[in-house]
Chains A and B, each alone.
Chain A
């Protein structure tokens, strides 16, 4: 059974940093791209970032480019999102999602975690 468990969310002041983690199990992590998708309270889904199976291809939404960094450690079956210079508009539930293919593009998100809440406020 595929499982994705996010952690690391919390309340943080504007301008500070936070690192999210996603622990994956139930599939061969090395074979698939992984994504972070967020959802602000009462809003729709926003793709944040994706990383290919071997970290060779990485993409970001314009809204986070230069502030967020995605990474993965296949040996630890883990995905990460380093979030710097956080803003109030980054407040959201952050989901980890498994890609259906090895690359970021051409693959949809076929499994999702339950999310970790990030609140940016002073």
Chain B
């Protein structure tokens, strides 16, 4: 099973700042089958990125993803108030599918 470790656990930043979230895999994620989801309180997760670097439909271009192999990054270039949420990474290339434990992005 591929274990995904997200860091930091909590990230405290101000609107307008840049956010960098990390997702590290215990073994290589095949073909960059890595997705990122955003989840706000009381809501279902929403797909942000897939294939490590492709934005889902309707996702603003301030969100970007990068990485390959075992190290992946989600970057939010300039934080908007609505970006403060929990972010989850997921690998979907190997069975079983696994998620990271999440990074909480909070307002400083």
Which A residues contact B (CB, under 8 angstroms)?
35, 37, 44-47, 50, 59-62, 95, 100, 104-115
**Interface residue tally on B, bucketed by range:** 20 to 34
Chain A residue with Cβ nearest B36: A108
Q: Does B63 contact A (CB under 8 A)?
A: no
A44 with B92: CB separation less than 8 A: no
Number of A-B contacts (CB under 8 A): 66
Question: For residue A111, which residues in chain B have a CB less than 8 angstroms away from its CB?
Answer: 47
Query: Which residues of the other chain, A, contact B101 by a CB distance below 8 angstroms?
Result: 44
**Contacting pair B44 A45 (CB below 8 A):** no
Extra 17 A-B pairs, beta carbons < 8 Å, given A45-B90, A105-B33, A111-B47: A44-B88, A44-B101, A45-B37, A45-B39, A46-B99, A47-B99, A59-B95, A59-B97, A60-B96, A105-B92, A105-B94, A106-B31, A107-B92, A109-B37, A109-B45, A112-B44, A115-B44
Alpha-carbon distance A107/B90, docked complex (angstroms):
11
- Is B1 engaged at the interface, CB distance under 8 Å to the other chain? yes
CB-defined contacts of A35 to chain B, threshold 8 Å = 97
Q: Is the CB of A114 within 8 A of B44?
A: yes
